[in-house]
Structure 1
Amino acid sequence: MVSNDTLSPKLNGLVLIGGRSQRMGSPKENIQWHGKEQRYYLIDLLQACCETVYISCRAEQAREMADSLELEQSYKLLPDNYPNIGPIGGMLTAFDLLPEQAWLVLACDLPLIDSAAIAYLIQHRDPLKIATAFANPQDMLPEPLFAIWEPSSYPILKEQVAQNRLSPRQVLIQQQAALIDSTVAEILTNVNTLGEASRMKAIIAGKSQDR
């Protein structure tokens, strides 16, 4: 870990909601795990530690949200420039916008992410690597969608997309990104189906009762 803040480019937040939630059957970003829709819950968490936070979405999602919601000024939409290639398209779109700055990328299907986990990630950021990510305790592979991606990753991501290699995780592995241990094993649990959602609601309810 590099502690010299002068080496660190400015950090923005990017909440990924562009998936089609086919296995869930309804938009995952709209689930209210913590009293508000998950997309806005995550934005509010990131706004405490990022320069600017954007919602990464499909073009039709941006139109729907702009038409149906009175978005607060701080809720900024960033429609994909690279549709139908998964989260790497949203990440490239973010770097197209601000190529000299870093991005804390956060997927909307991680209900247990909290301010402590975000702070821990930022604390262990290494700006001399292309990215800093948690190692999933189940398989020790890097988690690309709760990670800080540095500007140096931008040309690498562009090259990967040009070669139709669309896995952000493979980029982290190949480029030897900085990996950190998760302080809580379950923090990286993602939810993609109704059954998983039901189990997650029980976990969150139990945590609330323990407080």
Structure 2
Amino acid sequence: MQKISAVILAGGNSTRMGSPKELLAWREGTFLTELVKEVTQDGMECLLVTNHPERLPAEIKHAAGVKITPDLVPSAGPISGLVTAFRICQDELLLVLSCDLPFMDREQMNKLIAYAKGQSEWDVVAAQVNGRLHPLCAVYNRRSQTYWEQALQQNELRLMATLDKLRLRTTPEGLLDDWAVFNANTPEEYELAKNQEKKRKTGER
């Protein structure tokens, strides 16, 4: 069996949100603490890539199975995070998640991982919901590392430019819950997430 680790990318500047997305209040903690909880609850190791470790609460800094690192290369958005993750993690597969996925849970992660492991001849298996690709909710094979290293060296910082060179598989419609891939990038999207959470608590969904 190919071993897999999780990588959470929390190195963005959150310019559209206006404050660090990973620290937004959510459920019993924040976006980041809740996502780390979901990742690690079954024992999966987690690498957290952040250039602001001083922001992190003690519960994450001392959580079992969680390793924290800044970018090992000049920060260049998600690509520097991917390069860092491949250089640190030894596993063949990486479950890569952005920190702004408030509804991502262990059930959805397991569905994505199981689907990826059931495919053959792929470099990346990414979530696709309602026709939209989510490359930061995806499983990356170590075979793709060379391409990300090259993209960084060539200053090609668009994810899609490199994904176009790789064997990309996407999840079939209906595999994942629509809200599992919802990104809260703006204050309006944060409010939308909070309203959806209220609906779920009251059973409205």
- With the length of structure 1 as denominator, give the TM-score of the two structures: 0.84
Unaligned 5+ segments in structure 1 are: none
Cα displacement (A) at 1:73: 4.3
Report the counterpart of residue 72 of structure 1 in structure 2.
62
User: Post-superposition, which runs of at least 4 consecutive aligned residues in structure 1 deviate over 4 A?
Assistant: none
Q: Over aligned residues, Cα RMSD in angstroms?
A: 2.1
Residue 29 (structure 1) aligned with residue 22 (structure 2): yes
- Correspondence 1:102-121 to 2 at 5 A: 102-121=93-112
Q: Percent identity?
A: 26
> SS where residue 124 of structure 1 aligns?
helix
Unaligned 5+ segments in structure 2 are: none
Identify the range of structure 1 (72-81 vs 102-111) with the bigger mean alpha-carbon deviation. Answer: 72-81
**CA 1:141–1:197: 2 relative to 1, 3 Å:** closer
Cα displacement (A) at 1:176: 2.9
Residue 180 (structure 1) aligned with residue 192 (structure 2): no
Report the counterpart of residue 133 of structure 2 in structure 1.
142
Counterparts of 1:106 and 1:93, CA distance in 2: 14
Cα displacement (A) at 1:34: 2.2
Counterparts of 2:125 and 2:11, CA distance in 1: 22
**CA 1:100–1:15: 2 relative to 1, 3 Å:** closer
Identify the range of structure 1 (193-202 vs 123-132) with the bigger mean alpha-carbon deviation. Answer: 123-132
Supply the AA of the counterpart residue of 1:72: H
Counterparts of 2:34 and 2:114, CA distance in 1: 21
Report the counterpart of residue 207 of structure 1 in structure 2.
200
Aligned length: 198
> SS where residue 18 of structure 1 aligns?
coil
Report the counterpart of residue 145 of structure 2 in structure 1.
154
Cα displacement (A) at 1:128: 3.4
> SS where residue 192 of structure 1 aligns?
coil
Give CA deviations for 1:98-149 in whole Å, capped at 9, x if unaligned.
3553211110112121222111101101363111111131xx3431101111
Identify the range of structure 1 (166-175 vs 19-28) with the bigger mean alpha-carbon deviation. Answer: 166-175
